[in-house]
């Protein structure tokens, strides 16, 4: 049996590496369209892109608006309003990572709506916003 | 290639994969006290600002910061409970304990510590006001390797 030991080790290590490779990139993968569909179902009404654009642009009575960090146009790199750290474009057509990770989406909507609106955003507001962001395509 | 040597190579590769998340070393105090930056810490905290090495403030300051993330220097930086617990444990375990950081700085700001002032006393007011600097919290404006936890003077480049 002695000769099988190295082979067992090999299989174990290979299996561990394969397991990592298989699970890491796919952990929370979703498309922006899936995410929008989820918010629309929760909202119970159809999303309106124009309403999302208005929400993004307008001041909700607090110091920061969405544009303060994400830039006037969400197709370009923004800048954190207090630290100056670069923030990748928000529109999915300009940044493939956007709206693909549920935990990340929930975390940033919670934080940013609190900072910009002073409360959590409703599913309808999230659906409107996302439908507008998805509609922005490179010319 | 023998089976033994293949096994050995795979073991070495596995070790490299396991270690790669911990290659960033914080040497902020310049005294060789190195703390590898936890990948989760970089992922969560460095999304908005420099991954400040936890050695720069005492545990009491970090405990207050981690306990009040929903009101974090003017922004909501709240985390889910699992992530919060893991990061709190890590910053507390690596908080500064040596003489320089024995004080709890005002408002728990690293930039308000006595040693920060002393280390930056040659930096002019005009430099602090440069658009590329903007804030004393923007370490990376001058410390070119700040994002890896390297604050060595030799890597300082002051923008014009």
Minimal Cβ distance to B137: which of A6, A83, A111: A83
**A54: nearest Cα among A114, A136, A139, A128:** A128
In the prediction, which pLDDT does A29 show?
73
Answer yes or no: is A14 within a domain.
no
Which one of B48, B72, B73, B84 makes the best mutation probe of the A interface by having the most chain A beta carbons within 10 Å?
A: B48
Q: What is the mean pLDDT of residues B55-59?
A: 93
- Residue A113 sits in a domain of what CATH number? 1.10.760.10
> Which residue among B6, B17, B75 places its CB closest to the CB of A10?
B6
3-state percent breakdown (helix, strand, coil) of chain B, nearest 5: 50, 5, 45
Q: Per the confidence metrics, is the pTM higher than 0.80?
A: no
CB half-sphere exposure, A39, CA atoms < 13 A: 25
CA distances from B96 to A32, B26, B27, B140 (A): 42, 12, 12, 21
pLDDT class for A13, splitting at 50, 70, 90? low
**Mean pLDDT on A47-66:** 97
pLDDT at B119 over 50: yes
**Residue B22 and residue B18: Cα distance in Å, rounded?**
8
Q: Is the per-residue pLDDT at A17 higher than 70?
A: no
Residue B38: DSSP 8-state: P
The percent of residues above 90 in pLDDT, for chain A, comes to 73
Start-to-end C-alpha separation, chain A: 66
Domain membership of residue A71 (yes or no) is: yes
* Residue A2 maps to a domain: no
Query: Of A1-15, A51-65, B62-76, B127-141, where does mean pLDDT reach its minimum?
Result: A1-15
Within a domain: B138: yes
pLDDT tens digits for A88-128? Answer: 999 999 999 999 999 999 999 999 999 999 999 999 999 99
Q: Which residue has the tokens 């179902």?
A: A41
- As a whole number, the mean pLDDT across chain B is 84
Round to whole Å and give the CA distance between B28 and A46. 52
CB contact under 8 A, B11 and A111: no
Mean pLDDT of B3-28: 50
Percent of chain B predicted with pLDDT > 70 = 79
- Domain containing B113 equals 3-155
**pLDDT classification of A23: cutoffs 50, 70, 90:** very low
- Please tell me which residue of chain B has the smallest CA distance to A118: B76
- Using the predicted structure, report yes or no on whether residue B18 has a pLDDT greater than 60: no
A40 in Cβ contact with A51 (< 8 Å): no
Q: Tell me, yes or no, whether A4 lies in a domain.
A: no
* Structural domain contains residue B23: yes
CA distances from A42 to A11, A35, A68, B124 (A): 46, 11, 28, 54
Which tokens go with A99?
């709206």
Specify the pLDDT at position B43: 95
Residue B160 lies in a domain: no
What is the distance between the alpha carbons of residues A109 and A92, in angstroms, rounded to a whole number?
A: 16
Closest CA to B49 of A115, A84, A114, A98: A84
A2 touches chain B (CB under 8 A): no
Contacting A residues, span 58-117, partner chain B, CB-CB under 8 Å: 80, 82-85, 103, 107, 110-112, 114-115
Chain A environment of B17 (Cβ under 8 Å) = 17, 20
Say how many domains are in chain A. Answer: 1
Total length of chain B: 160
For chain A, what is the largest distance between any 2 Cα atoms, rounded to a whole number of angstroms?
A: 75
Structure token digits, residue B31: 């005294």
Domain that holds residue A130: 29-135
Q: What is the Cα–Cα distance from B53 to B147, expressed in whole angstroms? A: 10
Q: What is the pLDDT of residue A103?
A: 95
What are the pLDDT digits (tens) for B61-95? 999 999 999 999 999 999 999 999 999 999 999 99
Instruction: List all residues 6 or more positions away from A61 whose beta carbon is below 8 Å from its beta carbon.
Output: A118
Residue A118 forms part of a structural domain: yes
Q: Which residue, B103, B127, B128, is CA-closest to B114?
A: B103
Closest CB to A84 among B6, B13, B138 = B138
A12–B contact, CB cutoff 8 A: no
Residue A23 lies in a domain: no
The reply to whether residue A13 touches residue B11, judged by beta carbons under 8 angstroms, is yes
């Amino acid at each position: 049996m002695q000769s099988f030991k190295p082979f067992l080790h090999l299989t174990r290590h290979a299996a561990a590496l394969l397991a990592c490779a298989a699970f890491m990139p796919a952990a929370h993968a979703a498309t922006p369209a899936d995410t929008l569909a989820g918010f629309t179902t929760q909202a119970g009404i159809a999303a309106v892109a124009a309403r999302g654009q208005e929400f993004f642009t307008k001041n909700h009575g607090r110091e920061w608006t969405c544009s303060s960090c994400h830039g006037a146009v969400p197709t370009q790199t923004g800048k954190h309003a207090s630290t100056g750290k670069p923030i990748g474009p928000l529109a999915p057509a300009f940044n493939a990572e956007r709206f693909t990770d549920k935990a990340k989406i929930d975390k940033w909507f919670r934080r940013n709506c609190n900072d910009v609106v002073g409360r959590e955003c409703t599913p309808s507001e999230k659906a409107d916003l996302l439908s507008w962001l998805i509609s922005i395509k490179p010319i | 290639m023998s089976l033994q040597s293949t096994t050995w190579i795979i073991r070495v590769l596995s070790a490299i994969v396991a270690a790669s998340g911990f290659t960033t070393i914080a040497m902020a105090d310049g005294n060789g006290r190195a703390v590898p930056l936890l990948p989760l810490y970089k992922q969560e905290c460095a999304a908005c600002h420099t991954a400040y090495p936890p050695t720069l403030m005492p545990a009491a300051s970090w405990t207050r910061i981690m306990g009040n993330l929903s009101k974090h220097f003017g922004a909501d930086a709240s985390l889910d409970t699992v992530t919060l617990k893991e990061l709190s444990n890590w910053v507390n375990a690596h908080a500064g304990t040596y003489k320089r950081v024995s004080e709890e700085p005002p408002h728990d700001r690293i930039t308000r510590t006595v040693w920060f002032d002393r280390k930056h006393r040659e930096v002019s007011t005009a430099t602090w006001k440069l658009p590329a600097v903007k804030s004393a919290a923007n370490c990376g404006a001058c410390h070119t390797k700040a994002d890896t936890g390297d604050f060595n003077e030799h890597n300082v480049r002051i923008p014009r």
